[in-house]
Structure 1
Amino acid sequence: MGTTEKVAQFIVNTTYDQIPAEAIAVAKSAIVDGLGVAVAGSQTETGRIVARWAKEMGGAPAAGVVGAGFKTALPIAARANGTMAHALDYDDVTKNTGHPTPPLLPVLLTLGETQRASGRELLEAYVVGFELESKLGNSMSRKHYAHGWHSTSIFGTMGAAAAAAKLLKLDVWQTQMALGIAASEAAGLRQNFGTMTKPYHAGLAAANGVIAATLARQGFTSAADILEGEFGFLRVFSMPGEYDEAKISETLANPWNLIANGIGLKPYPCCRNAHRPVDAMLALIRAHGFAPEQVEQIDCEISAHVTKVMTYEQAHTGLEGKFCLPYCLAVAVCDQRVGIRQFAETRVRDPQVQALSKRVQIIHPYDRTEWDTGELLPCIVRVRLTDGRVLEASAGSPRGDPDNPLTWEEIADKYRDCARELLAEGDVERTLELLQRLEEQPNPAELMEILTFKGKPATR
């Protein structure tokens, strides 16, 4: 039996009762976190543009667009909702895969709504989609990413197809066909980081997963060996000798990646590579209470892979700011926090923040990177003050990492903070209540009604 068939059998045969309670708990936290971020993302310029586009495209009113007040065709809604879910770069991360939830969540919202899937079925679909994303990522070296492919959308397209196949109750052959179709739709280039097209990658992955599964349900065909074939997914997106096929077929649910590697939830809406330096900087501010005008210079010692991802030396837009480490450190000093408002266009252009970011020096003192070692290298932030003092802090695992997790209260508070961008307080609490008891819900109808149609009038 080939790898693609084994994967398809796993997707079809996995049931809610087979999934460990710990994995279900992690999945629920990721869904709560991801949905809050998507709601807030609907109120960004990126979210508004993609909502206008979705309305202009038209289509049968099948599934809701978050915060937009209308329904549209399944792939259009999935594309819009996925883009919103990644618009703030506030969404979750996991080892080797990128951002796992933005491609999966829109599948749950759109097909969950039309199929009237139960909460348990939604969780089943999330878990099998996440497991495939993760095991594909684990099977490859980081060279596909270094070459320019965006892991979130490459692996996310396959995970989205798996989740969609599960919700549509496809059989094994149909699921193989869905995976084959999805593999030819997988795309996303890192050159677009720092622009609206980066979050669009997640929307594209979600939509293509839905398209692949719905085509397969109609009898549309593809290669049944799309993962392992000579010109298949692994050999095209990786390099010769840079993948291990056995890490997919032989490790599905053994162990469950939601437990083995977990998911990192973000306390800051910017590239994850900035989080350790920001953690260190905020710790220094709490300990010493210095002001921006007291700062003469900031040095940050960190692995060189960070600036291969955070490529902007100076930020001119909010999206660039998310991928500019000097900006992230400078705004942390000026505002003593790093939240949604810190990446507003007006904040990024503030003269004080811009001046301080120019006094940030990024230093790469190591002869290897974390991509090479697979382990954290020291991250040190050093602040030289005008009175001659030099303050220094180091950071271990970033806040929100599986090794340094957010509490449930912190996750819920993040959801509330994000959801208030769109919803009135009563609806914020009601949606959170529904999500907390997701496995008890008969279908997502009430949740989608609120998210689609009950935004504050001023935001629509």
Structure 2
Amino acid sequence: THSMDFDDTWHPATHPSGAVLPALLAASQMLPPGTKPNGMDFLLAFNVGLEVQGRLMHFSTEAHNIPKRFHPPSVVGTMGSAAATAKLLSLSTAQCAHALGIAASLAGAPMANAATQAKPLHIGNATRLGFEAALLAARGMEANPLILDDIAGCSGFSAFYGIYHPKPLSTPSDHHEFLLEKQDIAFKRFPAHLGMHWVVDAALSVRNLFINYAGSFSPSLIRTIMLKIPVSKYINRPFPSSEHQARHSFQFNACTALLDGEVGLSSFTESSIHRQELRELLDKVVVEHPEDNVANFDKMYGEVALLLQSGDVLTGKCDTFYGHWRKPLSKESLLKKFRSNASHVLPEEKIETIITMVDNLENLSDSSQL
């Protein structure tokens, strides 16, 4: 899913599940009969993997905004994979600390590889390397157990996030609340960078206004398309030339929504990307970066204004798209997305079996059945 930019996204910005879930599936399958974790064990380990990622990002104000240096899944995803695997394998406290220390030495990938074929490697490596870190710790390998601390004069995890102020964990209790309970996850409706969902919903809104105004969508009546978006260089791509660039282009996604009335899987094919009518719309795009529109998934908005040949101006704005944690997808929408994606690789019977199993995961006696 990450190669399509179709995976879930959290705040502070990362893709939390992609690095954790495959590691737990592998660990469940690896363990011998009689030691298989049950569904509740699996769910707890999954939450631990997400909790570690969320806490590490909350320790840094730099991590709260759309990243510029390191791709977050390659950093916190590696740590989350190690933590989740260590939990599922029931490692000791000392072994868990060493697993995180080992994982820190395996973490990190640059944002410059976003919108390329190399980007999906980041999350694949994160799950693999975090998994390996936990296995190495289980075999006795040691690392700096204080890697997550703010070590004076020597960078630990702060090497990845410059403004980093870790806080001690409170003593666990029966009333412990996971970050996931306080901050839900965003699920995407179409396969593109999360930032695209704001401009697409804004574009669809103004498209409806335009059709009511003109009777149909007629690009010739548009003089200028104004996008008001946050400053974020790697997703500001005026004329994308590849599938991966198109998934990371405010301009492409806004114009596709205007032209087609939707953005979906077929929007990112070669034939769709290089359409003449789409290029003509892209030529009309002008970008503005309002000071109040910050590159932060909890605060940003997307605005699309059409300046018409007549002199009239039509505007659509979105500050919370459908799928954002403030406006979550319904279970029906989530199941529709899963069935659609899974249908490319699995028969219908297996798809429905997976849905039933996940719905009853807490009652599953052997999580390796997943």
Same structural fold, with TM-score higher than 0.5 when normalized by the shorter chain: yes
How many aligned residue pairs are there?
356
Superposition pairs for residues 55-454 of structure 1, below 5 Å?
Answer: 85-115=1-31, 116-142=36-62, 146-228=67-149, 229-230=151-152, 231-239=154-162, 242-246=163-167, 249-250=169-170, 255-289=177-211, 290-291=216-217, 293-294=219-220, 295-304=222-231, 307-366=232-291, 370-371=294-295, 376-386=299-309, 388-447=311-370
The answer to whether the 8 A contact 1:107-1:210 is kept is yes
After superposition, the Cα gap between the structure-2 partners of 1:157 and 1:406, relative to the gap in structure 1 and judged at 3 Å, is same
CA positional deviation for 1:427: 2.5
For the Cα contact (< 8 Å) 2:12–2:297, is it kept in 1? Answer: no
Give 1:369 shift. Answer: 5.1
Amino acid at match of 1:382: A
Unaligned runs of 5+ in 2: none
Query: Does the residue aligned with 2:287 lie in a helix, a strand or coil?
Result: strand
Structure-1 separation of matches of 2:248 and 2:22: 25
**Aligned mates of 1:158, 1:337 — CA distance in 2:** 37
CA distance in 2, matches of 1:345, 1:200: 22
Residues 292 and 258 of structure 1: CA distance in aligned 2, closer, same or farther (over 3 Å) = farther
What SS is found at the alignment partner of 2:195? helix
Letter of the 1:278 counterpart:
V
3-state SS in 2 of match to 1:272 = coil
Is the CA contact (8 Å cut-off) linking 2:11 and 2:297 kept in structure 1? no
Deviations along 1:166-195, one digit per CA (max 9) or x if unpaired, are 111111111111111001001111000001
Question: 1:134–1:293: structure 2 CA closer, same or farther, 3 Å change rule?
Answer: same
Letter in 2 for 1:274: M
Query: Could you tell me how far apart the structure 2 residues matched to 1:375 and 1:258 are?
Result: 15
Deviations 1:365-421 (A, max 9, x none): 32x6525x8862553211234555432111122221111111111111111111122
- The one-letter code matched in structure 2 to 1:157 is T
Higher helix residue share: 1
Deviations 1:333-386 (A, max 9, x none): 2221111221122221222222212222221132x6525x88625532112345
* TM-score of the two chains, using structure 1 as the length reference: 0.72
Distance in 1 separating the partners of 2:141 and 2:327: 45
Letter in 2 for 1:104: V
Offset of residue 444 of structure 1? 4.2
Any runs of at least 4 consecutive aligned residues in structure 1 with deviations exceeding 6 A, and if so which? none
Whichever residue aligns with residue 360 of structure 1, its letter is V
The one-letter code of the counterpart of 2:227 is C
Residue 327 of structure 1: CA displacement? 0.5
* Aligned-pair identity (%): 28
Deviations 1:70-115 (A, max 9, x none): xxxxxxxxxxxxxxx3111111111114111111111122112223
- Aligned 8 A contact 1:165 1:213 in 2: yes
C-alpha distance in 2, partners of 1:233/1:181?
A: 11
Q: Distance in 2 between matches of 1:420 and 1:389?
A: 45
